[in-house]
Chain A
């Protein structure tokens, strides 16, 4: 199967990316080529194989429920594009 330009536009939107006409053409070609590569995996029988999510088969560690971070909001907000009253500002969502 191959992706149409319309599908690629939809995928881009899901990832919050917008593509120019040229980018859309190039990406449709490239994404189809990459997915074509992935189709090779269809040749392998994997029904009885466990998926491997992590190389060391680790379990997430738990930590003590103690405060380890102190408030650094001024420092962190000093590099934000736009802030006000300790909030990150974005264009108005609801009037």
Chain B
């Protein structure tokens, strides 16, 4: 078994047993990153990684290590990292060396992890294919003609391609779950407010949430233990106790009630994806769960609701990028207005501009009620659907994405791209936790199963996912290497 196929739990055991050192596994990953052509990394922090690995080895030798000590990871380039470029996949921040650490960066440093580098993403997390990056598209490790999903495409490709043991991601409308699904890894979007947003470059503040992207549910639990928690620096952080997410992994799921929303299995879902998802559900039935058909009647409205709410928040959040205090500034501005106009027009990519304009329009006088207020009301209805559903079932299951990974460059118009988010958006609008776990293949491309839980049910989701991974080996499959 090669180092790059090992989980956090396995690497941690190996480090403890002196099978290898953190310096050795870090070098192993850095070598693989150098040889890779997936375009997963924007910045490789090799020197920093090696110094963190040496420090980790000292802690292991001194017996003061924890389970994450010396474990290499890939950090989504949306998290501020002090002294290291933090670009958010944008030309606008190509020269931005963050003067401070995001809380998540700080937490992972405190856990003695080793940061291999910053990974590629759709610009400001706006996209479902990772084709909207200033640094070019990321390739799917299972088939390099395909997209890895987005916006955390670099994170998913790094884990699936064996370039990192785990990765961080953020999920505003599916950006952890969809790339995890399309790259065949495990991804968890926690309840809104579970992980601090401080220093995580904001796209849509009422939806953004960070989470782990890993090989297994057990690894996701280990990483979430380090990431979760109240942070007074984030005004939307929840003052909610953090349990040990690994504590209930081995609980039996006998008697679990699974809800299958009929709206998630209707028109537009690829037949083979549906088959794989239903096979996974049957596996749960064999493990003692019962299945119930439910309805989320307003879920079809998740796309129009999200594509108003998120652009409104983005147009507000991204107004701070004006070429004055940091980031890109155009050459030779002739006056202040020219400075704003050209810095923003030259610094932002097409999809970001589109969403800023939709937001600016939907928030403008005369249109606010028709678009933004209306979308906030339908958001309420979508959220209420889940409340009713969770009165009857313990977990909701369904597909993550209507299809497997599509060809790079094949989806050109924005609305068609938005439709790919149909199954993931509603969990963000409601603020609920969701997961994607590997559940099969179609045409040699991974298919993910989505789990949506009630508020603060991350432990339960991880338990359900872990039990599935004890019975199946989809999560252990790796792409063929040349």
Partners in one complex: yes
Asked if A79 and B326 sit within 8 Å, CB to CB, the answer is yes
The residues of B that contact A63 with a CB separation of less than 8 Å are: 232
Asked if B322 and A16 sit within 8 Å, CB to CB, the answer is yes
Question: Is A84 in contact with chain B by the CB < 8 A criterion?
Answer: no
Asked if A93 and B344 sit within 8 Å, CB to CB, the answer is no
Question: Is B444 in contact with chain A by the CB < 8 A criterion?
Answer: no
Per a CB cutoff under 8 Å, which of B99, B307, B341 touches A18? B341
Asked if A46 and B381 sit within 8 Å, CB to CB, the answer is yes
List A residues 65-95 near B (Cβ within 8 Å).
72, 75-76, 78-82, 88, 90-93
Report the minimal beta-carbon distance from B154 to chain A, rounded to whole angstroms.
23
Per a CB cutoff under 8 Å, which of A19, A49, A61, A75 touches B345? A19
Asked if B354 and A41 sit within 8 Å, CB to CB, the answer is no
State in angstroms the CA–CA spacing of A90 and B336 once bound together: 6
Per a CB cutoff under 8 Å, which of B99, B373, B375, B383 touches A79? B99
Per a CB cutoff under 8 Å, which of B238, B315, B340, B377 touches A49? B377
A8-33 vs B, Cβ < 8 Å mask (1 yes, 0 no): 10011011111100010011001101
Asked if B374 and A12 sit within 8 Å, CB to CB, the answer is no
Instruction: Considering the complex, give the chain B residue whose CB is closest to the CB of A33.
Output: B415
The residues of B that contact A34 with a CB separation of less than 8 Å are: 307, 354, 358, 414-415, 418
State in angstroms the CA–CA spacing of A41 and B380 once bound together: 13
What's the A-B contact tally at a CB cutoff of 8 Å? Answer: 172
Report the minimal beta-carbon distance from A95 to chain B, rounded to whole angstroms.
11
Instruction: Considering the complex, give the chain B residue whose CB is closest to the CB of A14.
Output: B360
Per a CB cutoff under 8 Å, which of A26, A38, A50, A79 touches B97? A79
State in angstroms the CA–CA spacing of A93 and B334 once bound together: 10
Asked if A80 and B333 sit within 8 Å, CB to CB, the answer is no
Question: Is B197 in contact with chain A by the CB < 8 A criterion?
Answer: no
Asked if A88 and B298 sit within 8 Å, CB to CB, the answer is no
Question: Is B4 in contact with chain A by the CB < 8 A criterion?
Answer: no
Asked if B354 and A17 sit within 8 Å, CB to CB, the answer is no
Asked if A27 and B357 sit within 8 Å, CB to CB, the answer is yes
Instruction: Considering the complex, give the chain B residue whose CB is closest to the CB of A36.
Output: B415
State in angstroms the CA–CA spacing of A80 and B307 once bound together: 33
A54-B206 contact in complex given A40-B301, A40-B304, A41-B301, C-beta closer than 8 Å: yes
State in angstroms the CA–CA spacing of A19 and B356 once bound together: 13
The residues of B that contact A41 with a CB separation of less than 8 Å are: 301, 304-305, 308, 374-375, 378
State in angstroms the CA–CA spacing of A58 and B373 once bound together: 18
Asked if A55 and B431 sit within 8 Å, CB to CB, the answer is yes
Interface range, B side: 35 or more
Instruction: Considering the complex, give the chain B residue whose CB is closest to the CB of A46.
Output: B377
List B residues 255-307 near A (Cβ within 8 Å).
298, 300-301, 303-305, 307
Question: Is B235 in contact with chain A by the CB < 8 A criterion?
Answer: yes
Most chain B CB atoms below 10 A, which of A26, A38, A81: A38
Asked if A38 and B308 sit within 8 Å, CB to CB, the answer is yes
Question: Is B325 in contact with chain A by the CB < 8 A criterion?
Answer: yes
State in angstroms the CA–CA spacing of A82 and B332 once bound together: 12
Asked if B96 and A52 sit within 8 Å, CB to CB, the answer is no
State in angstroms the CA–CA spacing of A11 and B365 once bound together: 12
Question: Is A60 in contact with chain B by the CB < 8 A criterion?
Answer: yes
State in angstroms the CA–CA spacing of A61 and B303 once bound together: 31
State in angstroms the CA–CA spacing of A63 and B298 once bound together: 38
A51-B373 contact in complex given A15-B356, A56-B238, A91-B334, C-beta closer than 8 Å: yes
Asked if B192 and A56 sit within 8 Å, CB to CB, the answer is yes
Instruction: Considering the complex, give the chain A residue whose CB is closest to the CB of B348.
Output: A17
List B residues 221-235 near A (Cβ within 8 Å).
232, 235
- 6 A–B pairs (Cβ distance < 8 Å), ordered by A: A14-B360, A37-B418, A38-B375, A50-B377, A56-B192, A91-B334
Which residues of B line the A interface, CB within 8 A?
Answer: 95-97, 99, 192-193, 206-207, 232, 235-236, 238, 298, 300-301, 303-305, 307-308, 315, 319, 322-327, 329, 333-342, 344-345, 348, 350, 353-354, 356-362, 364, 371, 373-381, 383, 413-415, 418, 429-432, 455
| Nearest 7 A/B pairs, CB to CB | A55-B431, A51-B376, A81-B329, A46-B377, A52-B380, A15-B360, A49-B377
Supplied contacts A30-B415, A33-B414, A88-B324, 14 more A-B pairs, CB within 8 Å: A3-B361, A16-B341, A17-B357, A19-B345, A35-B371, A41-B301, A41-B308, A55-B383, A55-B430, A55-B431, A55-B432, A80-B325, A88-B325, A91-B339
Which residues of A line the B interface, CB within 8 A?
Answer: 3, 8, 11-12, 14-19, 23, 26-27, 30-31, 33-42, 44, 46, 49-56, 58, 60-61, 63, 72, 75-76, 78-82, 88, 90-93
